[in-house]
Structure formats: C-alpha cells, structure tokens
Structure 1
Amino acid sequence: MIRTAALALLALTFAVPASVGSVLAAPPAPPATAEAPPTAAVGRFDRFIVSSGPVCQREASGRCVDRGLAFADRDGDGRLSVDELDVVRRELKAWLAWKGPKLTAAERTGASLGVWLVDTAGLPALFDSFDADADGRVTRGELLADVRLDHRPLGDVLLDPQAVDRSAVASRVGKLAPFLQGFFGMGASAAPAR
C-alpha cells in the first residue's frame, strides 16, 4: 500500500500498475465475455494498466517509470503538466469505479488511498512541490528527486527506505505529512544514497 500512498504523484503516473498485480497477471478475458469499458478514456487507461503491469512487477523500475511517463505525457514533450496529471487522475478514478469490484481489497485500497492523498493534498500544490525550477512542467528527474531507481521492480524500490527519501516525500504532501509519517513510519529516515 505504501507504494501508492507514499508517493501519491507517482501513483498517478506509474505506481498503480505496480500495485494492482493479481488483476494484471492474468491474461485478459476473451472479448466476447469481457465487459466493455464505459468510455474510450477508461479503455485507454485499462490498456495501459494491463500492458504496464507485468513490466512494473517484474522489470527494472526505470522501465515502469518510463511507461508511466509516456502514458501521462499527452503532448509528448517529455515533461508532465498539472493538466496532464489531472487527466490521468480523472481516468484513474473512472477506471477504479469500473474495475474496482474486480480488484482485491488491498489493490482497491492502495489505489484509492493514492487518489485520496492527491485529492486531499491538492494536485496543484503536490505538483508544485516537484516542479523544482517552477517552469510549470515536471521532468523525470524532478519527479524522481526523492527516489533512487535500480534493477528491482518499482514496487520493491518504493518499499525500500534506502531507495526513497521518505522525509522528503512526506514534506511534499503539506498537511498530510504527519499522516504519512505516522501511518507509514516515514519519520526522519536517511535520504537514499545517490
């Protein structure tokens, strides 16, 4: 669950595929019996989840991040805007409304908690906390300022206190910092080695 909640902005772009594993590990149902997504956007989000899930669960974390960034970067400029992330947030919410009953309780809780964190912290404020140069765009480097990716799958990296500067992550969520620090034990841990 910390994968989605501790790095709420990351959840919108690439932690969700890493957190909804059992649904993604199974091959999709044949089209004749599969329930069609309610909208094209939900279908696009579902295809992203299905195709990214195995990558995020088994391959090096950077590959998962790159897939998430490519999906969220709707204008293809290599950077994320708050508007692009808001579209992904809305698509995630619609996807959860549609697919939620098929997820395990843990998957549903993790994804929902990530959405709640983003909504409570406020997407613009959370975005600004990552936009180090204040240019209105977040780069891969800015997004990962508090995370050290390596050869492990993203979920493993995000659970490793040596790979995530949890204090820095907690400071990005403003009034929710005490919640993260208490609930997830994200107190004054050391910053990851660079």
Structure 2
Amino acid sequence: MKRSSKSCEIHHVIHSAVSNNYFEITELLLKHGAKINKEKNDYKASLLQIAVENDNKEITEFLVSNGADVNSKNGEGKTPLFYAVENDNKDIVEFLISHGADVNISELINGKIPMHYAIDNNNNKDIVEILVSHGSNVNKYNIIHMTVQKDNKDIVELLIAHGANPHQINLFGKTPFQIAVENQNFEIMELLLLNGAITS
C-alpha cells in the first residue's frame, strides 16, 4: 500500500528532524500525523533508535513517553539498547532498561546481546553492572572469554560473582584460563584459579 504524498513528506521530515536533534520539530510532526513506531528509514531504524544513536536523551525520553517501542529492531536485529551501550551512554542505558528494554535480545547477524558490546567496545564496568543487575545472560556466547581477552580483571570478577562459568570452553576449544595464560595476565589467572578454573 502506497503512502500518501503528505505521509511521505512527514516520514522524510521527521527522520531529518530526529537525525538533526530538532526536538520541537519532532514534537510538532508527531502531533500532526507522524507514526512513532512506523516511521522507519531505509535501514529499518526507528525514530527511537536514531535518537539513541545521536545520544539525544531529550528526544529519546519524549519518544518513549509517547509510546515508542524500546525493543524495536532494525535491519540488523539491533534494538535501541545496543546503540546506547555502544555509545557508552549510561543514562540512556538505564532509561531504556527502566522502560522495558530487553537486555538479552539477540541481534540477527551473530547472536550477540548488548553485553557483548559493553565488553567488546568499551569495557565499561558501570554499564556491565547495569546489564548484569537486570538479568543479562553472563554465559552467552563466551562473554567471559572476551572479558579475559580484554584484560579486565574487575569485570571478570563481576561476571563470575553473577554466575559466569569459569570452565566454559569457546569455539576454539579454549577456557578463560588458557586465554589469561596467553595474555600473561597473572592477576586474572589467579582469580580464575581461585574460582576453580580448568587448567588443562
């Protein structure tokens, strides 16, 4: 079904407004027919995702308060939470989760969850703590291996305290301890040994 010319115009203008952080224009267009959850761009990104990618908390909060779907996925299967985590934006991460963002939702390409991005991109303990405290799966797709590879003892300790398996074997047949040995990280080696890591 084709959009009307007015609908098409609103669609393009509201994407431009959100992309350029124009709060008042975004607000005006939503009052005059823009559909908060239907207006997606060519990459299937929602208005909320664009606002989050731009680190714009004001527009993010406005969209959510007006019914934006916090778990809407783009063409890669990513939700707005993925982008808040990638941007290292603790405030928006907390806001989205408090409004129902799923911390264990997987993207389409490789099945990663937001926790993978928290560790792989930023290694930010504060964001990892937020995700863990809201039930993020600490044993999903070798998260502990990634953390050991990043040499972040504090996050390794945090993950183990929340149930991460120190015996887990990754796709290459390695345990977290073996990765710590390869990295010559004695502090993490000791931490893993204290938690019963497999050494052979």
Provide TM-score, normalisation by structure 2. 0.29
Going by fraction, where is helix more abundant, 1 or 2? 1
Which structure has the bigger radius of gyration? 2
Q: Which has the higher contact order (CA 8 A, sep 6+)?
A: 1
Provide TM-score, normalisation by structure 1. 0.30
